Every structure is written in structure tokens, then in C-alpha cells.
Chain A
Amino acid sequence: MSSETQKILTTDGIPLEVSLKKVERKNKLKAFLLVAPLLFFLLIVYISPIIGMLFNSVDDRMVTKALPKTFIAMEKWDGKELPSEEVFEAFYIDFQKLIEEEREGKLSTQLNYEKNGFKSIIKKLRRKSKSFEEGNYKEQIMAVHERWADVEYWRAIKRRAPSYSYSKYLKGVDMYQNEEGKFVQVEEDRRIYKKLWVRTLKIAFYVTLFCFLMAYPIAHLLATLPMKFSNLLMICVLLPFWTSLLVRTASWMILLQQQGVVNDFLVWIGLVADDERLVMMYNETGTYIAMTQILLPFMVLPLYSVMKTISPSLVRAGKSLGGTPFITFWKVYFPLTIPGIGAGSLLVFILAIGYYITPELVGGASGTLISNMIAYHMKSTLDWSFASAMGLMLLAGVLAIYWVYNKLVGIDNIKLG
């Protein structure tokens, strides 16, 4: 008996272990209940839209369901030459059904995303098909418009056959899958998205750089000035936060336009001739200026919080050991601020890469970013699945940047405040 460890009992005879677990379970439940509302909220407003978006971006059942017989008939078609009469007949039957149900408009929109020019020929087919005779549908349809006799258009229809497809993702990088299943780039003059991605990355990078260059001295000043001045300066840094983003961007428009304050001033001091006023808006310059100003606090705050923790005696030690002010800064102060630089840069870069309102208002044609394109597809072309695909690509890009950053600097090194 003595070799067996005796179970410790509480005063009312329940084993201590059981009693402890009971208490802990209660605490855990309490903790979970406190977190539950937020968890629930996040599930609804964050996780579920992302899943929905993912689903939306690959879902192509609308077209599949609209032309069921056509796609069955097309299975045997190799896609090299015009499809056989069988396919045309199936297409005609499907199309008649769509007209009955008045769904052919939606189909034409979808097919038009795939290849421009579908809209008008479907409209025409609808009109002409009323007087179609039975049999030999191939010739009758081809006679409606020359494009119906173009194999490219039939290939475009076939591409929409699967219920789920990743073609939107390919389109997002200016590529598509050709008949042999190879990934090829679209023609040179039609590549728009790649350019936009590159521009988005470039603008985000430079905005981050400009923010860093301007925020570093401010943060240093904030961290070293006596309290009564640093508080005032801090308010100046935070002031933009208290103003609506739209108002701030609008005020930049007032400042930057050709008849605006900045140009007036430059003309007044004679730096710029009246008829050569600078174009600082509706182009990249405008996006750079406005976004840098708006994102600046996101760089200042992490830098400040890190600099605040650096003891001034470290810099003094560097100097007393014989380091010139520059060496002391570069070898002692700067390395210690890297966690702040990392946090600020990551924050600004990720915010900049998905920025929308500011480039929309001051960016013009050359200063818009990928999010403006996403919004365009959401609002104007109504190609939601493509917009979803691009949104997810943006999300994946941000995650990739985060991952690279973690590998290079280490996420534990980040200090946000």
C-alpha cells in the first residue's frame, strides 16, 4: 500500500485533482464567454466574407447551368475547327429555353467577360432565331453574324464549361489557358493587370520609403523632447487621425490642383511660370503626396514607441567611447530602432497596397491602384467573381509579404507600442 501514491483529498472528500479541474473549467468557460462575442463577430464579418469571396471567385455554375446541352455536346469537340451541327443544335435548344426564361442577357454579360463582342451577336441571334427553320442550325446561326462563324468565339464558350474554374485568377495576371491547356499571356496591348500590380507594389514601396524618411526624425524628436513639447508634437501627428479621410484627401485636391494653393504659391515666388503650372494631381505624384501624408502616423507611432525605450545613456556611452555622432547613430541607435522600422514599414506597406479612396480621388489614370480596379469590376462591369479573385490575390500577396518579413526580420521583433 505504501508504494501507491496516496490521493490527496480536499476537506469534503473529493480528490484534489478533480476539484481543481472543476474550478479551472469554470474559469475557462468564463474566459471563453468573454471572448465569444468578438469571436462570433470576427467569424461573421471577417472569415465568412473571405470564404464567400474565395467561393465566388471560382464559381462558374451560372454559365454551366445556362447551356447544359451545349456543353455535353461540346465534350467531343477538339476545339480546333468549328464545332459540329450537333453542338449548334444543342446551343439553339439551350438558347431558346433561355429566351423563354429571359435569362439570355445574363449569359451574354458572362460571355462578354470571356471575350468582347458576345453582347451584340447574342442580341442579334435572339432576334433572328425567331424565324429559324428546323434543322441545319449550324448554317443558320453562322449566317446571323460572321463572329458566330469564328472558332474563337466557340472556344470562348467552351472555356466556360466547368462549374468551377480558376480562369479569373489567370485573367488577373493577364494570362489565359489556351486550347492545348497551356498558360499563355494575352496580347501585349491588352495586358493591363500586370502593369497595375507592379504599379501598386511600386507605389506602396515608395510610400513606405517616404513615410520612413519623414517619420524617423519626427519619432526621434518625439522620443527625446521634454514632455511638454513632445505632447504638443504628438497631437500634431495624431491630428490627421481625427479628421475624416475623405476630407483630408479633398483638402489635398484643393492644395495640389493647377489653380490650387501650392501652384499659386510657386507662381507667386516665381519658381514656376504661370502658364507652366505643375500637374500634381490626377497622376502618380498626387497619389504619392496624399498617401504619404495620410499613412505617416502609422510609421511614426511604432517608431516612437521603440525609440522611447532606447536609453539616452546608450548614445552617450557611444560618444564617450569615442564614436562620432554619426558612428554612434549608425552603430548604436539605428540597430536598436529596427523593430520599430519593421513594424511601421509592414503596417504602412500593407495599408498602402490596398488603398482605395485616396488614389481614386487624386490618382487619375496613372495613379490608381489594384483596389481601384477591384472596385471598378464590382461597380461597373459587375464581374464580381473577377473582383473576388483579384481581392484574394491581394490578400495572398499581403500574406506572402508578411511571411517574407517574418523570415527576414522575425515577427517577434516587431514592436507596435
Chain B
Amino acid sequence: MTSSKSFVKFDKVDKSYDGKVLVVKDLNLDINEGEFITMLGPSGSGKTTCLMMLAGFETPTNGEIYLDSKPISRIPPHKRGIGMVFQNYALFPHLTVYENLAFPLKVRKLSKDEIDKKVDKALSMVSLSGFEKRMPNQLSGGQQQRVAVARSLVFDPQLVLMDEPLGALDKNLRESMQYEIKHIHENIGVTVVYVTHDQSEALTMSSRIAVFNDGKVQQLSTPDKLYEEPVNSFVAEFIGENNTFAGEVTDISGGKCKVKLDTGGEIISNPISVKSKGEKTKVSLRPERAIIDPEEKMDNKYKGKIEEIIYHGDHARVRLNLLGNKEFILKVPNSSARLDIKRGNEINVGWNSQDARALDPKSI
């Protein structure tokens, strides 16, 4: 029944809290050993529920979860041997850093020497040596976070779960912690299942990302593939910025399709979810794939009127009225070259049809 390759396997898992609504629907997910998998999705999409089922704090209503090919639904959380980092760190406030880290080792009845050695190693891994005697409330948010990570790893679990661990940190600290966690993962090769609603976090850290919505995995693939080739309009709109055109397919041939827009005009795009003429679709185009003054070989070339310029420091976002879409965003690098980018001006914009992905018409 189980595949020998996957380390963690969700097999047709359903979960309902009230017996009326399924928060997780028919979930199938395979996680390989040593992988860094991120469950990404808006709140209420079922990602945290999945993590809690894996940790053992929730039981699946239906289906089974396998860890190392063994079903674990009947195993209580303290016997699963899975490390976990919680959203608010969940450090024991009445124990010192040392005692916090020693807790999982003491319950495993390790000798004092071994405990000392392991705590030392774990603390140096998160560069917090010398903080043993501190109480958690004497540490900064970032330090508490690192202690929480060290504690989840100190007993050498094969699998570590992280539930939005960086949510409470400020932007700069969050970014440096992302690298730190990524490096720890690379160094010790532990399997990590990470839950977040921050897409940039997911893109930076993961080997694969599972995008959750509505209790289902919408797409499971590597970060670059997820960004470049979203399989449906939810993923396209959830990951990164997106220009969308709603319309109807008028012609489909040779790996290209013509889409007549609801706002008027027609564009050429790459048919991903559409199969035949007459289908409704939503075309998705990344802002950075559209350029000003397009080259001759580009098959989509239009004129747009500048509605607004939003300054972002290193680049500016230019909002255009293009083919009746007043929300068309263009990213323009901050340089002195383009002085004609002013509000009210008309500019030429173009893109390759393969970057304009015609997806399902469903909107979020």
C-alpha cells in the first residue's frame, strides 16, 4: 500500500472538526527523506491541520498517515519522536535555556554527560553558546526562536515540523532566520515540514512547496516551477504578483491560443488549462515578463496609458491601462534611462505568448 520511497505519506486523509465541513479533503502527499517541504496557503486552508495531524495533536477523520512506512494515527504524540517548533516558540517560561533543551533528553533518560554534550552541540548550532542559564523571557524574539529550533533538534528526530515559526519576528530578522534554518537543514539533513502563509519565505527555503487552498493541495512542486509554471489561477495569484486578463478562447492551435478579452481586445497566450475553443479562461502574466518597447519577435505588442507610478526604491511599479485592464502592473528598474515614464504618457508594452498562461477561469 505504501510506497517504499516516501518518508512521510498522507494517504487519502480527510479531516473534519464539526462533522459538516471538511477542512482537509482527500489529501495525498509524499515527502521524501531529507526534504524541506513547505505547506503554503492562506489561513483556513488546512495546512496547520495537516501539520497537527502529523504531530499527533489531531487525528485524521479518514485515511492514514505513514511515517517511515508505519501507520501513525494510533501513536500518541510523545511516542512519535517528531520535533516541533511552534508559532509562539512555546519555550517553557519557568525553565532556563539549558533546562528547556534538556527536557526531551531527560524524558529519554539520557545520562547527565550525554545531555550536557547534546545541549552544548545544539546551542552552538544556533550560535547561542553561553546562554544556558538565561530564562526565556530574558531573550530577544530571535534568540527565543533559535532556542526553540535547537530544542526541536536536540534529541535528533528524523522529522521536524515548524508551524509558522518566524511569524512574530520583524522583517530583517525573519530573513536572516530563514537562511539560518535553511543552513541547519542542509547541515544535518533532517526532514523538515514547514508551514507558512508567507510566499517569499516558502520560495527561499523549500526544496518543494505544497500550495494549500480549500483543504486541498493545489500544486506540489519546486519553488521555481511553482512560480514560473503555476497550474491554476489560484496558485498563480497566490504566489508572486500577477497580471490577469479574463476572457474566452477564440482559437487554439500549435501550442498557442487566442483569447478574446472581456474588456475588449485580443491577446495570444499559452494554453495550460484550456483545451478547446469557446472556453472561459483567465490569462496570467508575471509583471517582470512584460517589457517596455518590446523586440520585434515578441508576439504580443500593445500600447498602454500610464495611470500611476508607485515608487519602490530599487524599482518602480507602473500601473497601466492596457487593453481595458486598468490594473496592469509593470516593473521598471530604477534608472535614469527612461524619462518618458510619466503619468498620462503612452508607452509600448510587449511579452512572449508562452509567458501568458491561460488558466482556469476560477478566481479566489
Contact = CB atoms under 8 A, between A and B. Distances in A.
B90 A313 contact: yes
B78 A323 contact: yes
B78 A336 contact: no
Interface centre among B55, B84, B92 (most CB of A within 10 A): B92
Contacts of B80: 320
A321 B94 contact: no
A270 interface: no
Given A335-B94, A336-B93, A319 B78 contact: yes
A323 B55 CA distance: 14
Given A320-B84, A322-B155, A323-B107, A311 B78 contact: no
Given A316-B77, A328-B78, A322 B88 contact: no
Given A316-B57, A320-B83, A325 B90 contact: no
B103 interface: yes
Main secondary structure of the interface of A (DSSP, over half): helix
A400 interface: no
Given A322-B155, A323-B103, A317 B90 contact: yes
Contacts of A396: none
Interface in A280-322: 311, 313-314, 316-322
Contact of A320 (B55, B87, B88, B94): B55
Contacts, number: 69
Interface in A327-351: 327-328, 331-332, 335-336
Interface residues of A, number: 19
Nearest to B92: A332
A331 B55 contact: no
Contact of A318 (B81, B83, B103): B103
Interface residues of B, number: 28
B227 interface: no
B41 interface: no
B104 A322 contact: yes
Contact of A313 (B56, B82, B88, B104): B88
A381 interface: no
A331 B88 contact: no
A318 B83 CA distance: 10
A121 to B, nearest CB: 68
A322 B83 CA distance: 9
A179 to B, nearest CB: 59
Nearest to B99: A331
B294 to A, nearest CB: 53
A336 B104 CA distance: 18
B282 interface: no
B92 A314 contact: yes
Interface centre among B83, B91, B103, B152 (most CB of A within 10 A): B103
A314 B108 contact: no
Interface of B: 55-57, 76-84, 86-88, 90-94, 103-104, 107-108, 151-152, 155, 161
Interface of A: 311, 313-314, 316-325, 327-328, 331-332, 335-336
